Structure 1
Amino acid sequence: MGVPLPHAQARRAKRPLSPLWTVCALIAALFSVAAPSSAAAAPAPITKPPMGWNSWNSFAGAIDHTVIEQQADALVTSGMKDAGYEYVNIDDGWWTGSRDANGNITVDTAKWPGGMSAITAYIHSKGLKAGIYTDAGRNGCGYYYPTGHPAYPGTGAEGHYDQDFLQFSRWGFDYVKVDWCGGNAEGLNARTAYTQISDSISRATAQTGRPMTFSVCEWGGNQPWNWAPGIANLWRTSGDIIYWGERPSMSRMLANFDAAQHPSAQSPGRYNDPDMLIAGLPGFSDAQNRTHLSLWAISGAPLIAGNKPSDMSAATRAALTNREMIAIDQDSLGRQGTKVTEDASGLQVYQKVLSGTGRRAVVLLNRTGSAATITARWSALGLSGSAVVRDVWAGADRGTFTSGYATSVPAGEAILLTVTGTDGTPPTGGPITGKQSGRCLDVPGATTANGTQVQLLDCQGGSGQTWTRTASRQLTVYGTKCLDASGQGTANGTPVVIWDCNGQANQQWTVNANGTITGVQSNLCLDASGQGTANGTKVLLWACNGQANQQWTAPAA
C-alpha cells in the first residue's frame, strides 16, 4: 500500500513547495470530505474511456483557431479519428480572462474568428467533438504559475459556474476539463466546488440538450476517487505527467500510473485519469511509447493524446492507432487492471478482466535496469487449464500454454498480451474467525474506504465479514479490497487495514496449518490487539507467539 500524502502540487509548477504551504495543503485535505451543498446529477452518459487530443502538451498557451484546426484535420487524415480518437480539447490559453458588463466571457476574435462557436462548428464538421478548459477557482493556473501560460488573472469560473458552463454548452462544447490551480490557492473545498460545477453542467444540459463529458483535474490531493465517481466522468489522480519545458520521463509516467490505482472507483462511464498521453513527444522512444500505452490500456484510462498529430512518425501513428491496444482500453466492462503478482522486485504482472468468457489482458512490466524473464501464471489470472497467448504489439499469436506464459522483457519496458482460456472456479468467500474470541474479522460499518482498520465483531455474515482467498494469496473483501499491512509496515503494531488490491507483498498472506495467518512481506502474524476478545478490538501485526489471539479459521482457497 502506498498512501499518497494529500498534496496540492501546482499543475505545472517548477519550484518545490514550502513547508508552510505543504502544511496548509494537508489541513485543507482533512476538510475536503465536507458534504456537498447539493446532490449532483449524473455526468454525461459515456460508456467508455474518452479518447481524443489535447492542446497543452505540445502547444501550452500558444493556441488559436489555426493550431486547433490543423490538429483536428490531422486527427482525420492520420487515421486517429477512425481508430476512436474523437475529442479535440482546447486547453489553457484560449481566454484572456476578461468579461463584459454582464459577466459573460469575452473572446479574442483575432485568435478565434467568429468566436468559440466557430471553432466548435469546424471541429464538428470533421465528425469530431469539441472540448474546453477552465478552472474551479477565480484565477487560473496562469495567474499562479505563469510558466507556459498567458499570465492573465480571472481565467477561472468561480462565481460564474452556471453562467460559464451554460455558455460552453451554447458554444457547442461536448467536453469540459476543470483545473484546480485557482481553486486550491483560493481555499475552496474540492468536493463542494466540483459538485457545484457538476450541478451547473447538469442545468446547462437541461437548457441546451447538449451533455458535456466532465473531467475533474484536481491532481489527487483531495482523493477524488472517493467522491468524484458520483459527479464526474473522469478525475485526475496525480500531478501533471509532464511540466511545461521538461522532456518526458519514464519515472514520471510510472508515478502517474501508480497513483491511478483505484480500481474500486472505476466502472463504465467513470474513470481514474493518470493524465494525458506523452506518447510521440520528443524524448520518448518507440519502445517507451508502447510501454506507456500498454499501462494506460490495462488501466482502462482515458486516451487523450498530447503529441502533434500533424507531425508524427509512422511508428507513433501505428502505436496510437493499434486496434488491439485500443480494444483493451475500451473494453465494455470498464474495469481497471490490477497487479496480480510480483515474483521479484520490479518484475510485475498486471491483468484486466475483459468482456466475454476467459479473456484477459496482461501486462508484463519490467521496472528494473536489466532484461528479465517475467511469468504470468494462469492461476493468478483466475484461469484454469490451457490458454492461448497473443502479443499485442507484435500482432502475433505466441501459442497455447498449459499453466502460464514466461518471456524475457527488456529493461524498463512492458509487453502487452491478451490471454484467452477457461475461467476457473471462483474461490468461495466466508468469515475469518478468531479462535480466542469466537468473533469475526470485520470491516467497521461495512465501509469501503481505503485505510479502514479491521476489527473483531460478532459474526453477522455481512459483506464486511466475507473474505475470499485468491490464488495470489490475497484476502479480499467486496471483490476489490484487500487485507493490507498499513504503509507496508513490518513492525509490531502495524495496523491491518483494507486497501485497493494492488498485488504488493503487504497484501499477501499465508494461511498456516496451525491457524495463524502471516504476512508475506513482514512474516508477522495477524493478531487481536492486547489479546482482546470484545467487539471493536483492533487487528494488527505482531511477532508470532503461538497464542490463541493469533489463531483463526479462514475460508478455503
Structure 2
Amino acid sequence: MYVGSAPVCSPSPCNCVPDQLMARALSRDHRYHVTSTSSSITSFFYIYICFIETTVHNIKGCDELGAPTFLLSFTVQRYLWTRRRTLGVTKMHLAVAIFASALVLTLALDNGLMRTPPMGWLAWERYRCDIDCERDPKNCISENLFKDMADRLSEDGWRELGYVYVNIDDCWSSMERDKQGRLQADPKRFPGGIANLARYMHDRGLKLGIYGDMGTHTCGGYPGTNLDQIETDAQTFADWGVDMLKLDGCYSNESVQAEGYPRMSKALNATGRRIAYSCSWPAYQGGLPPKVNYTQLGEICNLWRNYGDIQDSWDSVLSISDWFFKNQDIVGPAAGPGKWNDPDMLIIGNFGLSTDQSRSQMALWAIMAAPLFMSNDLRTISSGARAILQNKAIIRISQDPMGVQGKRLLKDKCGIDVYWRPLSDNGSALVFFSRRNDMPYRYQISLSKLNYTTGLYKMYEVFMGKVGTVEDTSEFTVSVNPSGVVMLYVFPPVKHRQFHGNAKLHGPAHFHHHDLDNAIPPVL
C-alpha cells in the first residue's frame, strides 16, 4: 500500500493531492466547453474525468510510479465531501462518485503497461542458476551482473531502441524468508538488496524485473509463493520498486495455479505500483484450451508463457515457432496491446545460432508480436549479433501500435514458409523463411497470391537495405538462405509519381539499392 505524499513522476502531471486534482480538471475547460463556475454536477464531472484519465489511461509521465487506484478513489470521495457546500455536492453525487470509483477499481486490472511488446534483457537462458561467485564472479547471479547489463543497455544504444527491462530470474533470493515472512535477496550476492538495484535501474532510465514462483519452491529450489504469501510478496516487490514480475509454476498444481495467478494479479494492482505481470500459467497447462482460458489471461496478465523453455539451439527456436504458428488461430487473437503471447527469450549473440538463424529468430518473433527479451552477454556480444538485435526496421515492426500478432500464410512444398503481419497505416510485414538445408533458394511469387490487390507497392528489405517497387500482379524473386529469412516492410499502395523516378517493375522483380532515407518507414 502506498504511504506518504502523492506519487511524483518526471514530468509529474498526476501528483494527485486533492487541490491539484481539482485544478488539473478545471484547467481543461477548453476541452469540455464549460466554465469553472458551472453547476455542482459539472464540478463533479471535472474530478471524475481526471480520476478516470489518471487511473485507467495512465497519464504519460507516470510509468515509473502510477498513482494508486484505491488512493485516488478515496481522494475523489474525500474531496467531494469536504468541499460539498462549495461545490453543491449532494449525497446523491457522493453516491455516484463512490459507485464510479468502485467501477474503475473493478476495471483496473488493465494496468496500462506494455501497450507494445516489452523489450529488454533476461538472465535465465544465458546464466541459469550460476551462484558460484568465487569461481565465476563475472557470470554468477549477483547484483554486479545486473548492473553490468544495465550499464550496457544505457550506454550502448539499447535503451533508446526500447530495450529497457533488466530482468532477474531464478536463484536470486536467500534460501529462507526473513523474520516477517518476506522474501529477501541473497546477502552475499546482492549485498545492496533489491530496492537498491531497482534504484540503479531507474537512475539509468531502465526498469527492473524479478522472478517468483506460484508454488512451494522455485524451479531452482528457492522459496516460492504459497497462497497465503501472495499479498505479502506483491507488497514486498512494490516496496522494492520492482517494475515487472515473472511468476513461474514449479512445485504447484492446477488448483493452486487457478487460484494463485489471478490473486497475484489483484495483489499487484492493490499495491498501487504499476507492476507488469508475466504468467507462466498456460505453459503448465499445455498452452491450449480448454485448460487454458486466454480471455482470462488477457484480463490478469501482461504477457504469458505458452510453451516450454527455449534452449540455445536452432532446433529449440524452430520447435517453439512451429508450435505458435501451428496454433496461430487459437493463441493469436488473444494477443494485443497490454497482453502478449511469449515464445521466450532471444538467444541471438550466444553459441547455438548461425547468423542466418539469428535473423530468422528476430524476424519470426517480430511477426509474432512477441516480447523481445534478450538473454546473452551484452559485454561481449559480437557486432553482427548486435546489428540484428538493434535493427530499427525490425523493431519498428515489432513495436507496431496495432499490436496484431502475425500468422503463417502458406507452407510451400519447396521448403519456403511465408508469414505476414498487418501494421499501422495500411503497412504490413512479410517474411520468407527457408526450411531447406542445402543452398540458397530463389523463390518466386506475386503479391496478389498473398492477398495484396490494390496496385503498386514499395517494399524495403530490412536486413540488406534494399528497396523495390512491385505491382501486385507482377512476380518478384527473393533469394533465401538455408534456415534464413528475407523480411520485407511493405509500404501502403501509392501513385507511381510518389516514387520519385523509380521505374515500375515488370515481370520477375529483384530488389535494387536506393536512397534508404526514403525507403525506411518515416518513424525510423
CA distance in 1, matches of 2:461, 2:278: 32
1:409 aligns with 2:480: yes
In structure 2, the residue matched to 1:98 is: 176
Q: CA deviation at 1:376?
A: 5.0
Q: Secondary structure at the match of 1:176?
A: strand
Answer yes or no: is 1:395 the counterpart of 2:465.
Answer: yes
Aligned to 1:258: 322
In 2, Cα distance between the equivalents of 1:375 and 1:264?
Answer: 30
**In 1: Cα distance, 2:212 partner to 2:173 partner:** 9
Aligned partner (choices 365, 389, 397) of residue 296 of structure 1: 365
1:134 CA displacement: 0.4
Structure 2: how far apart are the matches of 1:83 and 1:45? 17
**Unmatched runs of 5 consecutive residues or more in structure 1:** 1-37, 144-151, 243-247, 424-557
Q: Does 1:182 align with 2:251?
A: yes
Equivalent AA in structure 1 for residue 478 of structure 2: T
Label 1:222 to 1:408 Cα distance change in 2 as closer, same or farther (>3 A).
closer
Distance 1:333 1:196 in 2: 29
Task: Check 1:204–1:314 CA distance in 2 against 1; reply closer, same or farther (3 A cut).
Answer: same
Q: Residues 405, 181 of structure 1: CA spacing in aligned structure 2 closer, same or farther, 3 A cutoff?
A: farther
State yes or no: 1:418 paired with 2:481. no
Q: Which amino acid aligns with 1:212?
A: I
Structure-2 change in CA distance of 1:363 and 1:96 (3 Å):
same
Contact 1:156 1:182 in 2 (8 A): no
Does 2:115 correspond to 1:74? no
Which residue is equivalent to 1:11?
Answer: none
Aligned with 1:53 (options 121, 134, 137): 121
- Compared CA separation, residues 364 and 159, structure 1 to 2 (3 A): same
Say if 1:349 and 1:376, in contact at 8 Å, map to a contact too: no
The question of whether the paired residues in 2 share the 8 Å contact of 1:215 and 1:233 is answered with yes
* Structure 1 position 298, deviation (Å): 0.8
Contact 1:44 1:213 in 2 (8 A): no
Aligned residues: percent identity? 33
Note closer, same or farther for the CA distance 1:258–1:159 as it changes in structure 2 (3 Å cut): farther
Asked whether the 8 Å contact 2:230–2:260 carries over to 1, the reply is: no
Residue 136 (1) aligns with residue 203 (2): no
Q: Does 1:360 align with 2:428?
A: yes
Q: Secondary structure at the match of 2:412?
A: strand
User: 2:286 — aligned with what?
Assistant: 221
Provide Cα deviations, 1:403-448, integer angstroms capped at 9, x if missing partner.
Answer: 253312112111111112439xxxxxxxxxxxxxxxxxxxxxxxxx
What is the deviation of 1:259? 2.5
Contact 1:340 1:381 in 2 (8 A): no
Distance in 2 of aligned mates of 1:375 and 1:298: 21
Distance 2:452 2:264 in 1: 41
Instruction: Identify the residue that residue 118 of structure 1 maps to in structure 2.
Output: 196
> For the residues of structure 2 that align with 1:109 and 1:249, how far apart are their CA atoms?
34
How far, CA to CA, are the matches of 1:345 and 1:227 in structure 2? Answer: 40
In the alignment, is residue 343 of structure 1 matched against residue 343 of structure 2?
no
Match of 1:107 among 185, 189, 192: 185
Query: How big is each residue's C-alpha offset from its partner over 1:287-311, in whole Å with a ceiling of 9 and x where there is no partner?
Result: 2111110000111100000011111
Using a 3 Å threshold, how does the CA distance of structure 1 residues 405 and 332 change in structure 2: closer, same or farther?
farther
Which has the larger helix fraction? 2
Query: Deviations for 1:251-294, whole angstroms, at most 9, x for unmatched residues?
Result: 21022123333211111111110001111111322221111100
What TM-score, normalized by structure 2, do the two folds share? 0.66
**Which amino acid is 1:103 matched to?**
G
Cα pair 1:289 1:319 within 8 Å, conserved = yes
Mapped to 2, the partners of 1:136 and 1:155 lie a distance apart of 6
| Separation of aligned partners in 2, 1:387 and 1:284 | 33
Cα distance in 2 for partners of 1:356, 1:133 equals 37
* C-alpha distance in structure 2 between counterparts of 1:39 and 1:330, whole Å: 25
**1: CA distance between counterparts of 2:453 and 2:376?**
38
Cα distance in 1 between the residues matched to 2:264 and 2:444: 46
Deviation of 1:398 after TM superposition, in Å, equals: 3.0
Tell me the number of residue pairs that the alignment of Structure 1 and Structure 2 aligns: 365
Determine helix, strand or coil for the equivalent of 2:224: coil
1:203 Cα deviation from its structure 2 partner = 1.1
Shift of 1:43: 4.1
Q: CA offset at residue 191 of structure 1?
A: 3.6
Which one of the candidate residues 196, 206, 211 is aligned to 2:274? 211
Q: Say whether the 8 Å CA contact 1:342–1:349 is kept in structure 2.
A: yes
**Amino acid of the structure 2 residue aligned with 1:413:** G
Q: Equivalent residue of 1:339, what SS?
A: strand
More strand by share: 1
Cα separation, 1, equivalents of 2:142 and 2:375: 16
Q: Tell me which of 311, 325, 342 is aligned to 2:394.
A: 325
Q: Secondary structure at the match of 2:113?
A: coil
- Report deviation, 1:72: 0.7
Deviations 1:104-148 (A, max 9, x none): 1233322212311111111111110110000011211013xxxxx
| Contact 1:40–1:196 (CA under 8 A) maintained in structure 2 | no
Stretches of structure 2 that go unaligned for 5 or more consecutive residues are 1-105, 131-140, 495-524
- Write the deviation string for residues 362-397 of structure 1: whole angstroms up to 9, x where unpaired: 010111223333345423244422211211011221
Given residue 286 of structure 2, which amino acid in structure 1 is its aligned partner?
G
Query: Per the alignment, in what secondary structure is the counterpart of residue 52 of structure 1?
Result: strand
Deviation at 1:44, TM superposition (A): 4.4
SS of match in other structure, 2:476: strand
- Any idea what SS the aligned residue of 2:491 has? strand
SS in structure 2 at match of 1:312: coil
Residues 431 and 487 in structure 2, CA contact (< 8 A), matched pair in contact too: yes
Computed over aligned residues only, the root mean square deviation of the Cα atoms, in angstroms, reads 2.1
Alpha-carbon distance in structure 2 between the residues aligned to 1:381 and 1:351: 10
Distance between the aligned counterparts of 1:267 and 1:367, measured in 2? 29
Q: Is the 8 A contact 2:453 2:472 kept in 1?
A: no
Please say if residues 65 and 111 of structure 1, whose CA atoms lie closer than 8 Å, have aligned partners that are also in contact.
yes
For 1:46 and 1:159, the matched residues in 2 are separated by 28
Letter in 2 for 1:201: L
